[in-house]
Amino acid sequence: MTKRVRSRRSDGPIPPTLYWRLFRLSPLIMLFGMAAGGVLIIRSILVWGVEDTDYPFGIDIPIAAAVLVVWGCAAVALLTPPRSVLARRDGANESAALVWPLGRRFRLWTIIAAPVCGLLVAIAPFPILVALGWDPAIPANLWLGLPMAIGLALFAAALTWIVLRGALHGVEITPTHLIARGYFITRRYQRDAIVSINAVTLKWWPNLVLSTLMSREVEHTLQLSLVGGEEPMLYAANSHEHDVEIGAEMVRAWRQRAE
């Protein structure tokens, strides 16, 4: 009787070393996606969507499409990490690892928003120019137009920053630190300084801000208790309640192994 040998499952679509390189370079990758998406959408509208206007088809359209395809492949790779770079529930990772459930709810949306965000960034300056009287057919209206234009520009800048950090969004644990990469900033916490980890419900004001910004209800996230008495909220960790509970379990296991 021959013995059946079960084949070992692949670690992932790409090697861990390559994934970490893509991960560290992801803001640049997202920037390429934004630029290519903005060019492709605008040029496509001008060539095929505007009547009685002569906008010829140019080489920039297939180039932007090709860049967008490459960006799409990189985005798929970033969203399907190898198992060896993911944090384990028993906390037995020997090197840096991503706590994948934390931040998972919005990671996909912020990444795939890159092409549309490129369009928004491209058109954001126009309301400011119109408010300043750039178009002779429209009189300048600084009192009304300029605040609206500045608000739109600030929103576009914030959205751009969020999208650039889309693949980084979440929590990473290393042998010595917990790294929380939120929508706007990155915070680091020493492993030995963490006393406890809890899944919590957001207070009303961060709930309102994040829900407005993401156009979806944002309720659950992770909260740390530190040696000095601080209790920071990890907005990088917000996701569905089930994801946050699993992520908290992974971080607790990682922390307990330091004892």
pLDDT, tens only, 202-216: 775 665 666 566 655
- Whole-angstrom Cα distance, residue 199 to residue 115? 33
What's the DSSP call for residue 46? I
Sorted by sequence, the CB contacts under 8 Å of residue 53 that are 6+ apart come out as 46
* DSSP E strand boundaries for the chain: 97-99, 170-173, 177-181, 186-190, 194-201, 220-226, 233-239
Burial 5-20 (b: 16+ CB within 10 A, else e): eeeeeeebeeebeebb
What is the sign, positive or negative, of the torsion defined by CA atoms of 157, 161, 162, 164?
A: positive
> CA triplet 125, 131, 137: central angle to 5 degrees?
105
So what's the pLDDT on residue 48?
Answer: 80
Torsion of Cα atoms, 206 then 208 then 209 then 211, to 10°: 110
pTM of the model: 0.82
By C-alpha distance, which of 8, 164, 9, 10 is closest to 78?
164
Q: Average pLDDT of the chain?
A: 82
So what's the pLDDT on residue 226?
Answer: 92
Determine contact, residues 27/83, Cβ cutoff 8 Å: no
| Residues in the chain with pLDDT values less than 50 | 1-9
Sorted by sequence, the CB contacts under 8 Å of residue 41 that are 6+ apart come out as 115, 116, 118, 119
- Whole-angstrom Cα distance, residue 9 to residue 241? 30
By C-alpha distance, which of 120, 119, 139, 117 is closest to 130?
139
Q: What is the pLDDT of residues 77-129, one digit of tens each?
A: 999 999 999 998 887 777 899 999 998 878 888 888 889 888 888 877 777 77
- Whole-angstrom Cα distance, residue 240 to residue 238? 7
Determine contact, residues 61/220, Cβ cutoff 8 Å: no
So what's the pLDDT on residue 85?
Answer: 93
